[in-house]
A and B are shown apart, each in its own frame.
Chain A
Amino acid sequence: MSLTKSLMIGRDLDELGRAADQVRTWLEGVLDDDGIAEVELALVEALTNSILHGPRESANPIGVFVDVSDKQVAVEIADDSPPMPTLFDGAGEQKLDFDLSDLDNIPESGRGLSLIVLSMDEVSFRQVDEQVRLRMVRYRSH
């Protein structure tokens, strides 16, 4: 089975639901419900990051590219950001470990990148034409 789809969204948080709904539709029958939900979480966290922290001066929309093969689902995001090879360094379960007995010590933000890492099997960047894309891969055999 193979499938290649893409959509463009504006740099607006109100676009998150539309992007998530579209990707969910594409992945129906490709992944189980848990898999789709985890891809959706990674997608929304990544798009939120792009919208809030990506290059505000860019006039281009944000591209979402989905590629399905027998082995995996790859979701890529192109937002005109420069290369950020160390963005995910240290992200993961250890970044979500806080002293839960001290409420004041629990941060309200900063979990997005770790949730992307925990939801997907591979997270990387790749160059496509003139753009750097965030590439998030989920294996179909879970």
Chain B
Amino acid sequence: MNISEEMNGNMMILKMRDSRLDASNAPALREALIERIASGQQSIILDLADVGFMDSSALGALIAAVKRLGPVGTIAVASMRTPVAKLFALTKMDRVFSINATVNDAIKSLSA
């Protein structure tokens, strides 16, 4: 799993460097997110600009993370490409995650 990490105040920005998120790397994605939540991170922004494909297994990893976080934290998603945005819409997960056009929008949204 290729992820780069950057902090902006108390927000952690995770840029997904893999172009595909599917069942082959979903367990690693889940572990990467849960690990950061377990270490106390409560505001996470996922930058998906490089991700051209995501399937239901990867989506499941994000759902596991948001459930682990519970109501005290937020996972925001930013810079989704069209196929990924459609997956969120089809599965109605665009109503569970904070969806943002850009990382800067996500930062503003979580700062509000």
Interface residues of A, Cβ cutoff 8 Å to B: 13-14, 16-17, 20, 33-34, 37-38, 40-41, 44-45, 48, 51-52, 96-98, 100, 103-104, 106-109, 111-112, 115, 118
Contact = CB atoms under 8 A, between A and B. Distances in A.
Given A37-B83, A51-B23, 6 more contacts: A34-B86, A38-B86, A41-B55, A48-B23, A107-B63, A108-B64
Interface residues of B, number: 26
Contacts of B86: 34, 37-38
Given A100-B92, A103-B66, A115-B90, A16 B56 contact: no
B71 interface: yes
B87 A41 contact: yes
Interface of B: 20, 22-24, 53, 55-57, 59-61, 63-64, 66-67, 70-71, 82-83, 86-87, 90-92, 95-96
Given A48-B23, A103-B66, A106-B96, A96 B90 contact: yes
B67 A20 contact: no
